[in-house]
Amino acid sequence: MNVVSIRKWTFSLSAVLFIASIVTLAIPPALTAGIDFSGGAAFTMSFEDVLDPALVEKTLSDIGHPEATVQPSVEEDGTFGKHYFIRVGELEPTIRDTDGNIEQDGGREKVEASLNALSPATVNGFDTVTGVIASENVRNAAIAVVVAALAILLYVTWAFRRVPSPFRYGIAAIVALIHDTVIVLGLFSILGKLFEFEVNAMFITGVLTVIGYSVNDTIVVFDRVRENIVRFPTLTITEIVNLSVRETVARSLNTSITLLIVVVALVMFAATSIQPLLYVLAAGVVVGTYSSIFIATLMLVVWENGEIRNVASKIPLIGPKPAA
């Protein structure tokens, strides 16, 4: 197995996927934000009758929620069911007197009353997030990703301090991490645009888990590279990387496949509240396994052989200027 010989193809494939992900993320909305990041309220309701989603949306629009979205359940025969996921903007608070009695209904009471007028309904779930909390969630999620990346860079550099150019191992791991994160985000950006797939706090948990899995898989290969550098000092970096990948590829694939089996089982039987986490894990396992073999490890080869410098020299504004 000579993975180094196909590095141009793997880098090209990753470049296409990476650029496509950047493009789709640049098209608003980058990701379809759930209430955790945009603020608002979400109802899970069951009606006695099957209702037209358009009628439900019109009813909500009439009481001041034109932004409302309604997602009905779908039966096996393709018809709408009686269970609905309804999302609206921020709701007005309920006003109470000093004795705790309701003086004026809040937004939640108005929504439930208007929908009960269409058909008797049961509220199975209700979540609400204010705009302030939503903006804090966005900021905290971004900080968590940046801090994780910096911590990984420092740790990998320290862990491989006894091999030549240990900083390269840390940078290669970060490149693979960014590669995996952007491609996963790009995939869910497309799903959000086409199928209104919303991202929430569980999605961010999944992204952080993907980062950890990607680095874990990468370090397994790096560790074997480090061992082989000591065992075979006369081999070139190309030969060492090929040998190390051959020795670890079975372990990586077996780990990824068993994890995917568990994730698929959870998708089929677990609660819908953790579905975003599971979907991100499934995508991240595939991309992370690919990057640990074909991106992170091969980065060491192209860096050691000076190929990065050769490519940079051909780029305008970066490469050497011709003599006058």
Say if residue 64 is in the same domain as residue 200. no
Which of 62, 94, 129 terminates a domain? The answer is 129
Q: Can you give the pLDDT at residue 161?
A: 83
Q: What CATH number corresponds to the domain at position 154?
A: 1.20.1640.10
Secondary structure of 53-122 in HEC code, one letter for each residue:
HHHHHHHHHHCCCCCCEEEEEECCCCCEEEEEEEEECCCCCCEECCCCCEEECCHHHHHHHHHHHHCCEE
pLDDT at 321: 55
**SS3 assignment, position 44:** strand
Considering the domain architecture, whether residues 49 and 66 belong to the same structural domain is answered as yes
The tens digit of pLDDT for each residue in 259-273 reads: 899 988 888 877 666
Q: What pLDDT band is residue 319 in, cutting at 50, 70 and 90?
A: low
Among 291, 289, 262, 267, smallest CA distance to 278 is for 267
Q: Which is it for strands 32-33 and 198-199: parallel, antiparallel or unpaired?
A: parallel
**End-to-end Cα spacing for the chain:** 47
Q: Is residue 320 part of a domain?
A: no
Beta strands in 112-243 (DSSP E): 121-129, 198-199
Last residue of one domain, picked from the residues 89, 106, 129 = 129
- pTM listed for this prediction: 0.74
Same-domain status, 150 and 108: no
Residues 290 and 186 in one domain: yes
Q: What is the pLDDT of residues 122-181, one digit of tens each?
A: 888 888 776 556 567 668 877 877 887 788 888 888 888 887 788 888 888 889 988 998
Mean pLDDT of the chain: 83
Cβ-in-10-Å burial (0-12, 13-18, 19+) of 27 comes to exposed
**Do 185 and 291 lie in a common domain?**
yes
Query: Binning pLDDT at 50, 70 and 90, where does residue 252 land?
Result: confident
d(CA 57, CA 126): 18
- Judgement on whether residues 13 and 102 belong to the same structural domain of the protein: no
Indicate the pLDDT class of residue 322, thresholds 50, 70 and 90. low
- Residues 175-210: pLDDT tens digits? 998 899 899 999 999 998 988 787 877 888 888 888
**How many CB atoms are closer than 10 A to CB 185?**
21
| Residue 256, domain member (yes or no) | yes
Distance, in Å, from the CA atom of 231 to the CA atom of 221, rounded to the nearest integer, reads 15
Are 153 and 294 within one domain? yes
In a domain? residue 324: no
The whole domain housing 122 covers 40-129
Q: What is the pLDDT of residue 31?
A: 85
Is the per-residue pLDDT at 318 higher than 50?
no
For residues 75 and 139, membership in a common domain is answered with no
In a domain, 18, yes or no: yes
Domain boundary among 88, 113, 129: 129
Q: Which pLDDT band, with edges at 50, 70 and 90, does 283 fall under?
A: very high
Question: Same domain, yes or no, for 258 and 183?
Answer: yes
CATH number of residue 57's parent domain: 3.30.70.3220
Same domain, 152 and 103: no
- Residues 8-58 pLDDT 10s: 899 999 999 999 999 999 998 888 877 767 778 888 899 998 888 889 889
321 CB neighbour count, 10 Å cutoff: 7
What is the domain count for the chain? 2
Whether residues 221 and 83 share a domain: the answer is: no
* 122 found inside a domain: yes
Together in a domain, 111 and 142: no
Q: What is the mean pLDDT of residues 82-105?
A: 74
Residue 136 is assigned to a structural domain of this protein? yes
3-state secondary structure of 190: helix
